Amino acid sequence: QTFPYMTSNVEEVSGRSFDYIVVGGGTAGCPLAATLSEKFSVLLVERGGSPYGDPFILELKYYGYPFLVSDEYTSAAQSFVSTDGVPNFRGRVLGGSAAINGGFYGRASKDFVKKVGWDNEEVRDAYEWVESRIITKPDHLTPWSNATAYSFVEAGILPYNGFSLEHIRGTKIGATSFDNQGRRHLPADLLPAGNPSKITVLLNATVDKVIFQRTGTRDEKIARGIRFIKSDGSSNQTYEAYLNQPDNSGSWGDVILSAGALGSPQILLLSGIGPQEHLNNFEIPLLLNLKGVGEGMQDNPGIAIFVNYNPQNPTPEHSKAAGIADDFKIITEAGIVPISLNGTTFSYFIGKIAFPESVGKLELNSTDPRANPSVTFNYLSTERDLAECVKMTQLLELALRSKSIASFVGSNEYQNKPMPTEDELQELCKTTVGTFYHYHGGCTVGSVVDKNYRVYGVKGLRVIDGSTFLESPGTNPMATVLMLGRYQGLKILQERKDASFINPRT
Ligand SMILES: Cc1cc2nc3c(=O)[nH]c(=O)nc-3n(C[C@H](O)[C@H](O)[C@H](O)COP(=O)(O)OP(=O)(O)OC[C@H]3O[C@@H](n4cnc5c(N)ncnc54)[C@H](O)[C@@H]3O)c2cc1C
């Protein structure tokens, strides 16, 4: 399979035009660019570098290592701390957050698909397109995955469903982006599935704004291209790339933001699209007063419970088992991660509240597109979220006291410990709440983009990624973000085809 042309030389792309420009070579951006390339030329701009050749990204045995070497400006895992004080990460590499994540893959429920208004069969086809290329069914369970799966069953998360791609009640084994040889498959591995000769991948370039043309008596604002800088911050020089003139149907392509839940709202704000007052504070000229930009930011609160240091098999392990409990409102998983580069690891349980009420917002910290924006999630700020957290922590504490974990740890240490009281669990929730890394929102459907993912009030600009979600789909969102890139890519191709049928200008 041929891979598209990749370059980090901004001069090579500067001044050129493409049918579509996708900003962000991440989980949604890669399948989207691949799909659009079936018919059109595509520029895919990624602020990070190439993942290929990097063992920390590609090899399961180094799972978790990118977090040990993270910083704000250069590493593949970019660290950020929300104003709540919770440390977090986002991907900054071709492949996006799916290049550094836990690899757990599970589809969204039929209810989710219905609620969002997508077509069931097309969704299934798009999932399958992704799965047949980069997703694996685990062919064995390690002692740790076995122990955790059965500990969830012992905690009452029933039935035991074995392997499943679906989001179903009970305990299941999920699919994964790591293959059975321990190699991670990336969203970027999907790029050859389109027409690679029509894709140009520009790496190490950070987009700082969308370029607009204002036309006509109605002052239409139409996206015509992007402006970008070198990601290494070595100069202030800016470069531009543009959308091609209309095809023979008279329709233009789009600039599509797939820069993730932090990146996409940040680029809109830097482009002058967002709440007017906030933009005034940074002296950003207003293009459109769109209040929803940066609103609806959510992170699923995560509580982690330590199991043991240097477990039996101390190599890092992503979660293979998931418990889907309390009428889908609680998800439990488990893993083994390194705590230092010398190979010390620890095992843990982690739970997520699937539908938190608490909601926050994203604002700019500065006009530097390389800097993290300011994000607030307001974890556990409602009584219901706190009550859910207590229930979830109770489940994790039960799993910790299971026979399966006793035999994995080799002692009854936890089984002999009394269960914490509700007050103690509440305190634990308040003092240790962290992230499950499934943050989303900032450009949600209905407030920033319409159901075709077009940004309200302007033309030629869409957002397609996790920033558009009102809730985190399935057990874990990666599957649905990948699917969304394919699904919406096909929709755009179809729209273009319909337009040329209605208005042929040959
Ligand atoms: C540590 C961690 C573990 C996780 N574990 C799992 C898991 O096991 N299973 C699961 O389903 N989900 C998991 N997730 C969540 C999942 O990975 C994300 O929800 C999903 O990858 C988000 O996809 P996205 O396309 O919205 O954004 P991303 O994949 O983050 O893509 C955004 C891309 O845009 C680029 N970008 C941003 N700004 C700019 C700019 N200005 N110019 C150019 N490029 C830009 C970024 O570098 C990035 O490559 C995890 C997430 C993290 C962080």
- Measured CA to CA, the distance from residue 175 to residue 132 in angstroms comes to 12
Which residue of the set 167, 185, 318, 438 is catalytic? Answer: 438
The larger pLDDT score, comparing residue 1 to residue 253, is at: 253
Report residue 338's pLDDT band, with 50, 70 and 90 as the boundaries. very high
420-475, pLDDT tens digit by residue?
Answer: 999 999 999 999 999 999 999 999 999 999 999 999 999 999 999 999 999 999 99
Q: 432, 460, 494 — which closes off a domain? A: 432
Please provide the average confidence, as pLDDT, over all residues in the chain: 96
| pLDDT for residue 500 is more than 80 | no
pLDDT of 506? 42
- Helix 383-400 vs helix 422-432: crossing angle, to nearest 10: 100
134-182, pLDDT tens digit by residue?
Answer: 999 999 999 999 999 999 999 999 999 999 999 999 999 999 999 999 9
Same domain membership, residue 305 and residue 167 = yes
Q: What CATH number should be reported for the domain holding residue 472? A: 3.50.50.60
26 CA to centre of ligand 1 in angstroms: 6
Same domain membership, residue 224 and residue 93 = yes
pLDDT of 112? 97
pLDDT of 215? 86
Same domain membership, residue 227 and residue 121 = yes
Enter the tokens of residue 43. Answer: 């520029």
Same domain membership, residue 346 and residue 482 = no
94-137, pLDDT tens digit by residue?
Answer: 999 999 999 999 999 999 999 999 999 999 999 999 999 999 99
pLDDT of 503? 65
> What is the three-state SS of 72-112?
CCCCCEEEEECCCCCEEEEECECCHHHHCCCCEECCCCHHH
| pLDDT for residue 354 is more than 80 | yes
- Measured CA to CA, the distance from residue 260 to residue 464 in angstroms comes to 8
259-285, pLDDT tens digit by residue?
Answer: 999 999 999 999 999 999 999 999 999
Same domain membership, residue 89 and residue 222 = yes
pTM: 0.98
- Complex ipTM over 0.90: yes
pLDDT of 426? 98
Q: What CATH number should be reported for the domain holding residue 426? A: 3.30.410.40
pLDDT of 310? 84
Enter the tokens of residue 147. Answer: 């122990």
- Measured CA to CA, the distance from residue 244 to residue 289 in angstroms comes to 27
Atom number of ligand 1 nearest to Cα 465: 26
Judged by DSSP in three states, 207 sits in strand
Same domain membership, residue 72 and residue 52 = yes
Longest distance between any two alpha carbons in the chain, whole Å: 79
20-69, pLDDT tens digit by residue?
Answer: 999 999 999 999 999 999 999 999 999 999 999 999 999 999 999 999 99
pLDDT of 504? 59
Same domain membership, residue 264 and residue 197 = yes
pLDDT of 72? 87
pLDDT of 493? 97
114-124, pLDDT tens digit by residue?
Answer: 999 999 999 99
Same domain membership, residue 371 and residue 313 = no
Known binding residue 207? Answer is yes
Same domain membership, residue 229 and residue 128 = yes
Number of domains composing the chain: 2
Share of the chain above pLDDT 90, in %: 93
Q: 432, 454, 474 — which closes off a domain? A: 432
> Is-contact 360 298, C-beta < 8 A?
yes
Burial class (CB in 10 A: 0-12, 13-18, 19+), 479: buried
Same domain membership, residue 411 and residue 264 = no
66 CA to centre of ligand 1 in angstroms: 14
Atom number of ligand 1 nearest to Cα 24: 34
Residues with CB under 6 A from ligand 1: 23-29, 45-48, 89-92, 96-98, 100-104, 206-207, 258-261, 263, 267, 369, 437-438, 465-466, 476-479, 481
Same domain membership, residue 217 and residue 95 = yes
Q: Is 318 a catalytic residue?
A: no
360-407, pLDDT tens digit by residue?
Answer: 999 999 999 999 999 999 999 999 999 999 999 999 999 999 999 999
- Average of per-residue pLDDT across 294-310: 96
Q: Whole domain around residue 428: which residue ranges?
A: 140-173+301-355+381-432
> Is-contact 220 26, C-beta < 8 A?
no
Same domain membership, residue 495 and residue 389 = no
180-205, pLDDT tens digit by residue?
Answer: 999 999 999 999 999 999 999 999 99
